[in-house]
Amino acid sequence: MAVRAGFDLLELHCAHGYLLASFISPLTNLRRDEYGGSLENGLRYPLEVFDAIRAEWPAHKPMTVRVSAMDWFEGGLSAEDSVIVARAFAAHGVDAIDVSTGQTVAEEQPSFGRSYQTPFADRIRNVAGVPTIAVGAISGYDDVNSIILAGRADLCALGRAHLYDPAWTLHAAADQDVAVAWPVQFQRGSRKPPMGRTDGPRPRLELIREAGKEGRHKRWRPGLTR
């Protein structure tokens, strides 16, 4: 279905306490069979699912996996565990790891902040040697450029920034004078509009009508009735 729909990339969600994530985290995997008891056993079913999907997904198209690199709670997944998880998926042919954290148990105690999950993407990329996607409170293109140029991640994924501005990527390109293809109907907006008094072209404010008796403009006041 995803192939027929024309998707270019497929991501398997193994994070945030969902079904596959519940096998990986020791906080939720209480099984005593071959699918529980250790991190390696907990990875068994998610890897089986990954293999089955990868076999059907075209070989020339990338497939990624989203993981919670840390549970933010005692006894849960640690940053060290995330390296093991990343290496396991890399051995099965994953193209990149989308590195999130937490949302496994309600009692979690995350440490929020700007780009707060980037250190986990950094660790997996540079310790496990697996390409990563950094996510979490990344909103400006300066942050994106800094993360990638510093070698902390290979890509950055921005969700809320695109909810706020669906054309975020196009606007970021325009602000940095990067040439990208704009949809025909939006090409008029491919350059940042002049908004300041010093921006060109010079504003035209001359009167092109005969001046009336009123010497001042009326001030619009919200809610004022006539």
Q: What is the pLDDT of residue 89?
A: 99
Q: What's the rounded Cα separation, in Å, for the pair 133 and 100?
A: 9
Domain positions in the chain are 2-162, 165-201
Percentage with pLDDT > 70 across the chain: 86
Give the chain's mean pLDDT: 91
The predicted model gives 56-76 an average pLDDT of 97
Q: Tens of pLDDT along 155-170? A: 999 999 999 999 999 9
Catalytic residues: 18
Q: Which two tokens stand for residue 154?
A: 């290979």
Q: What is the pLDDT of residue 141?
A: 94
pTM of the model: 0.83
| CATH class held by domain 2-162 | alpha beta
Number of residues in the chain: 226
**CA R_g for the chain:** 25
Q: Which two tokens stand for residue 189?
A: 């907006």
Q: What is the pLDDT of residue 201?
A: 64
Q: Tens of pLDDT along 4-27? A: 999 999 999 999 999 999 999 999
CB atoms within 10 A of CB 122: 18
Q: Tens of pLDDT along 111-130? A: 999 999 999 999 999 999 99
Q: What is the pLDDT of residue 221?
A: 74
The predicted model gives 216-223 an average pLDDT of 68
Residue that is written with structure tokens 């509009």 in the block = 193
Cα distance between the two ends of the chain: 59
The predicted model gives 36-63 an average pLDDT of 98
pLDDT band at 57 (very low <50, low <70, confident <90, very high): very high
Per-residue three-class SS string for the chain: CHHHHCCCCEEEEECCCCHHHHHHCCCCCCCCCCCCCCHHHHCHHHHHHHHHHHHHCCCCCCEEEEEECCCCCCCCCCHHHHHHHHHHHHHCCCCEEEEECCCCCCCCCCCCCCCCCHHHHHHHHHHHCCCEEECCCCCCHHHHHHHHHCCCCCEECCCHHHHHCCCHHHHHHHHCCCCCCCCHHHHHHCCCCCCCCCCCCCCCCCCCCCCCCCCCCCCCCCCCCC
